[in-house]
Amino acid sequence: MPVDKLSKEFDTRTFKELNIDLMNHQSISENAFKSQKEIDSGLNKNIVLKALRSRGLDGATCSEIAEITKLSMNTSRKYLDDLCKIREAYKLKRGKQITIYYINGKPRHEYGFEKIEHDDNIFEFCLAEGANNRLLLHVIEKKMTLLDGEIIDGSVIIPHELIPDVIKKMKAFYEMAEKGRDNE
């Protein structure tokens, strides 16, 4: 922009107006930066998840994931812990120093499997054998996305002996919901 045009614009606008424009620009830039950080965070989390999936049932340590993904140990650990919080993964301590992360997928000793699909929601029910030959009901909630296919949203493991109590509670909530609908 020529200097004379710039000086005319400066003459016609007050310093306050220019300052407000500058503040708005900074605010937009900060929001764009935050959004970019969120995007990078999501991409890194997916990279860590894919690296963990590539290890299969053997699992991986944080250092192995860091090596595979080329992320730092701290960054890898942060994303692995984030994946554990949303139950995409779980971790087990081996000794005092070693933590092994595993993908939260199918239980190993499966006895029965049922699936309920509704819109993009998927619920998988599996009767599995846990430690000490204990039977467990493993319920996995998944979502279907175009980009990643089936993604685990959460899961719950219910000991066999508690299944009747859980069913009673679920029936009670179902009946409560139906009564609520009838009153509308």
Domain residue limits, the chain: 15-103, 110-182
Amino acid at 72: S
Does the pLDDT of residue 29 top 80, yes or no? no
| H-helix or E-strand spanning residue 45 | helix 15-54
**Are the beta carbons of 54 and 68 closer than 8 angstroms?**
yes
- pTM here is 0.44
Amino acid at 110: E
- Give the mean pLDDT of the chain: 75
pLDDT at 37: 56
**Are the beta carbons of 83 and 97 closer than 8 angstroms?**
no
Q: Count Cβ atoms below 10 Å from residue 137 Cβ, excluding itself.
A: 17
Most confident of 37-41, 62-66, 92-96: 62-66
The CATH number of the structural domain formed by 15-103 is 1.10.10.10
**Are the beta carbons of 86 and 75 closer than 8 angstroms?**
no
DSSP state of 153: E
Domain 110-182, what architecture?
Answer: Roll (3.10)
Q: Count Cβ atoms below 10 Å from residue 48 Cβ, excluding itself.
A: 28
Give the position of tokens 């909630």.
141
Does the pLDDT of residue 9 top 80, yes or no? no
More reliable by pLDDT, 20 or 134: 134
Give the pLDDT band of residue 181 (cuts 50, 70, 90).
Answer: confident
Fold match, 15-103 / 110-182: no
